[in-house]
Amino acid sequence: MRTVGNRSSKTFKPKKNIPEGSHQYELLKHAEATLGSGNLRQAVMLPEGEDLNEWIAVNTVDFFNQINMLYGTITEFCTETSCSVMSAGPRYEYHWADGTNIKKPIKCSAPKYIDYLMTWVQDQLDDETLFPSKIGVPFPKNFMSVAKTILKRLFRVYAHIYHQHFDSVMQLQEEAHLNTSFKHFIFSCRSEFNLIDRRELAPLQDLIEKLGSKDR
């Protein structure tokens, strides 16, 4: 884990940067500008004339970076002892498999699972055949399927933080940051583009409904 200055700038894995000057960088700046307006529903909408795959790619990188930073703030509380299984409350437990290095799902601690997960996501984002950063290079036919798997798995980190570490988040006064990040994630992945199956969201369904009703 890298520590840069204060706690809030810790990241669990190195931040994934979108190259400056690229079209995806311009899209990221557009997203940041509309997020700054405070209207999250508007911020997640596909900008007029833009490619859906590229927009989903930019947002997937952004969510990876956000979760990376949020988890980075609480890693000292998420240990092999305190979180010996990767769970989201008593009813939901996650086992890790990536289909390549680990084909059969394995039960492991939350820090180990999240390390596997974030390393796996990083490898996908760094793969130019899956996430092309150069203008004119097409996205693969299976891009949306890959993005959906990444986002489904990133959701599990939010679920773990909310269920197992929310007290620590409140102690660190990071709850507003966590809530805004998660609301942005849900509005994009569920409300706007339907990228995550409703069943996958069950561990945080009550919170999702509360966030949605507040915004109406």
The answer to whether 163 is annotated as binding is no
39 phi and psi angles, rounded to 5 deg = -95, 95
Letter for the amino acid at 186? I
Q: How far apart are the first and last CA of the chain?
A: 39
Cβ density class 156-191: b for 16+ within 10 Å, e for less = bbbbbbbbbbeebbeebebeebbbebbbbbbbbbbb
The answer to whether 189 is annotated as binding is no
> Pairing relation of β-strands 93-94 and 86-87?
antiparallel
- The tokens for 42 are 């508007």
Residue pair 16/65 in contact (Cβ under 8 Å)? The answer is yes
Q: Is 181 helix (H, G, I), strand (E, B) or coil?
A: helix
Q: Which of 160, 125, 119, 118 is nearest to 146 (CA)?
A: 125
Q: Which parts are annotated binding residues?
A: 78, 83, 160, 165
Q: Which parts are annotated binding residues for Zn(2+)?
A: 78, 83, 160, 165
